[in-house]
Chains A and B, each alone.
Chain A
Amino acid sequence: MTKEKIVVIGAGMAGGRIVEEILKRDDTRFDISIIGAESLPTYDRIQLSPVLAGEKSFEQIVTHSQEWYDSNGVKTHFGYWVQSIDTKGKFVVLHDGQTIAYDKLILAMGSDPIRLPLPGADLHGVVAFRDLHDVDAMQKAAAQGGEAVVIGGGLLGLEAAYGLAKRGMKATVIHLVDVLMERQLDEAAGRLLEKALLERGVTSVLNAQSEAILGETHVEGLKLKDGRVIPASLLVMAVGIRPHVEPAKSSGLKVERGIVVDDQMRTSDPDIFAIGECAQHRGQCYGLVAPIWEMCRTVADVLTETRPDSEYHGSSLATRLKVSGVDLYSAGQFSGGEGYEDVVFRDPSRGVYKRLVIKQNKLAGCVLFGEATDGGWYFDLMKKGEDIGDIRDTLIFGQAVTNALAGQDPSDAVAAWPDDTEVCGCNGVSKGQVVASIQAGNDNLDKVRGHCKASASCGSCTGIVESLLKCTLGDAFKAQTGPKPICKCTEHGHAVVRRAIVEQEIKTMPDVMQALKWSTPDGCSSCRPALNYYLLCAWPREYKDDPRSRFVNERNHANIQKDGTYSVVPRMWGGLTSAKELRAIADVVDKYDVPMVKVTGGQRLDLFGIKKQDLPAVWADLNAAGMVSGHAYAKALRTVKTCVGSEWCRFGTQDSTGLGVKLEQATWGSYMPHKFKMAVSGCPRNCAEATIKDFGVVCVDSGYELHVGGNAGIHVRVTDLLTKVATEEEALEWSMAFVQLYREDAWYLERTAPWIERVGLQFVKDGLAEPDVRAALVARFLESQAVFQVDPWAEIAPRSEPAKVFSPLADLRAGISQSHLQEPAE
């Protein structure tokens, strides 16, 4: 007997999924063929954004490979498109003329990106963002650098712009209205998003209408209606999608905006179904994946007759932006209106904004920015239409707080869900599947993600998966929560470990690991450097520094380069140098063939491309001219930048250069949680940029303003004013006290800026206010300096024992030093 023939048009997300759902229910009854216009197997289209940003590879996003189709007996025609459908004869015609007969036909043709009919729209370098070809084209353009313009400030446009910025282009988003993602965000959240994108290299131009794309053969820029021209070598149009309805329309099926279907996803021809973005259900066309999984389940239920009366009733949608580090979630109705009430929470210092929209004691919508972990919970309350009257007061603080105040464990609610409740919309994983995965031994979030894919795509259900871990594993999982552990080797966070070292007087690394029950024999590359620092900070005299727990740069006292050579930066006190020092540097450059010398951003000279075995000799030569290590490689005092100050400058109020030298001489060599930079400016013109340093001094007529917590790195932060003092001695005292407070309190790899953000400026002010507390801090600092203020370069003289490891153990290139011949045993 011949099998019933199912033909699927479109091998995208809906096409791949429907085949899988049918096979799951019945893998013998049908003879299935799938035709896809892209010459690729099925991949997770939503992951094109991370592929563009270089965060994933194409291989990682394939969901149904050629082998998968083959091994399931599905015939594939990738790289073919269907030209027409003969609904009477029941066959489809491919572009090369071949025909394929069907008993049941499933249309899963997705949608097409809308191309604005602007002058110049057909130039080279104008692309859409829909498939792998587009991503390839963008990657190639990005490899050349330059500028990119993205038209459209919706989800797709922003993800494209972010991806391009991450690949090194200068990206600008042009948006027609005055709020980004206005369909998902209110104005406040839109502004925060704008700012977050700017920090990631994406500039937004709002209220802007495009007029023409400029260029001869290749795009050169975009002209706006207001006359502005934005230069660009790549232009991405991300202005929306239109359901792909051909060849359904020309074959006589009922088509409006999309292909019209009923609640069983049947088109106007009872043997033809339509799913995914090409379908129009109850007047609605969707542009997100969550509805697709539900549509596929219905069609599979109906076709296999597992549940012949199965129906789809539409979906509510939630959106999460896939831009690393930007937490943004939006669901339901948020524009408010009559009968709607708002609950809003703002914490500008942390960049958090949350808004809940409530109607008649039910949650109708939410917008979350900066802290979006509760998105899944709100969405669930919304979908289930639960009465929130009782928890309304605490709702905005999220699930954990709400349940805790109600005396209930958050995981209890999740535990009560039926097994078939869907947990992960992106990957269509049910609660039962997650629990089964946990019971099969996947006892943490990463493992569950790897095993059953739940929360592996957009991440909005992470909180639910965690709750399931908790209620399935009980205490075994509770131990993993609490403050974020230092790394996978321990359940404890930085604060607990530090406190234990001091309070229990633990003085060696194996003892810390023993006392705090490390799960690995000797830690890992995350915890060992942290423990080494905590121990040497707590016990400067007793603890012996462990170079093997230090990152390569701190072990080799130079910065490793991508080719394995090193760079060497001698200290130049306060940015000062002399003929003698410069001459010695010049000699080193000649003697060791140093390929590049560069003036650094920290007012000194960097010698690049030095071979490891030459390091001890280079240092010896620099030491001989009086220079010491600049610690340009260490979590330690880096540079003290200065300006010329009152010595020469007509505006200078104090001797900023002199004070800079004193500061550097007092603090060099001291190890810290992270690198530490200082600067002294001679007047408020601030030529030494003191207000973006960890400790900055701005001289004024009446004395010295002391500023702390500045950072010019990835996130620029301007300093806070700590205090003002009258004399240099006080400035020095405060600097040392501040450094010591930071050394004793901050977590490893936490610079002063995030540290102060975490503990608050008041904590720092209070910690330094009392003169005797300050004096005690200075005393502990000096105690530590007595041990650590040594030049590491001087300790590794050429041909000394410590220098030995800088040369290879053996060099066999010239010939084999000694060889044994052995016959293997039979």
Chain B
Amino acid sequence: MNASVVIHWTDVGPAEEVQPQSARRVETDLGAVAVFRTVSDEYFAIFDRCPHKHGPLSEGIVHGKAVACPLHNWSISLETGEAMGADAGKGCTPTVPLMIENGRILLGLNI
């Protein structure tokens, strides 16, 4: 049996506002969310809080499907929010459902 889950999709702006290999911040009542766009134009959203010491991930260097935290250079997967490489298994940042519809970014924030 599947409980029927209702996702509230929230429009946070035009997709082209986020440049490739970079991120923009979205403030929410649950804390800031970082919306990323990779070099191959994939979009991801995760909370803007590094699992290490809460560095703002939206300010990191985006490479592949990962971001390097600006404070101490942990590498965080944009797909899973998990710390990768040498710091794998040490922490995880919650991900946020995202879709692009008609050139707009929608976040599944459930608020």
Contacts and interface: CB of A to CB of B under 8 A. Distances in A.
B111 A816 contact: yes
Interface string A509-535: 000000000001111110011000000
Contacts of A520: 63-64
Interface string B41-81: 00000000000011110011111100010110101000000
A564 interface: yes
B48 to A, nearest CB: 9
Contacts of A522: 21, 39, 63-64
B39 A823 contact: no
A612 to B, nearest CB: 8
Interface in A757-806: 805
A811 B60 contact: no
Contacts of B27: 808, 810-813
B19 A809 contact: no
A813 B25 CA distance: 13
A824 interface: yes
A812 B110 CA distance: 12
B22 A823 contact: no
Interface stretch (A17-25, A184-192, A430-438, A547-555): A547-555
B109 A812 contact: yes
A560 B72 CA distance: 12
Given A562-B53, A562-B71, A809 B63 contact: no
Interface residues of A, number: 35
A525 B11 contact: no
A556 interface: yes
B83 interface: no
A816 B59 CA distance: 24
B92 interface: no
A810 B105 CA distance: 11
A277 B18 CA distance: 62
A817 B19 contact: no
Q: Point out which of A529, A550, A551, A810 has the most chain B C-beta atoms below 10 A from its C-beta.
A: A810
B13 A525 contact: no
Contact of A819 (B10, B35, B54): B10
B7 interface: yes
B7 A808 contact: no
Given A522-B21, A564-B55, A809-B25, A549 B61 contact: yes
Given A809-B17, A812-B109, A818-B10, A525 B61 contact: yes
Nearest to A563: B54
A552 B60 contact: yes
B106 A820 contact: yes
A816 B63 CA distance: 31
Contact of A548 (B10, B21, B29, B111): B21
Given A521-B39, A820-B106, A824-B5, A812 B59 contact: no
A43 to B, nearest CB: 18
A803 to B, nearest CB: 13
A822 B8 CA distance: 7
A809 B13 contact: yes
A548 B62 contact: yes
B11 A818 contact: yes
Contacts of B8: 816, 819-821
A556 B23 CA distance: 13
11 contacts: A556-B59, A562-B71, A564-B54, A809-B24, A810-B12, A811-B27, A812-B27, A813-B27, A819-B8, A819-B9, A820-B11
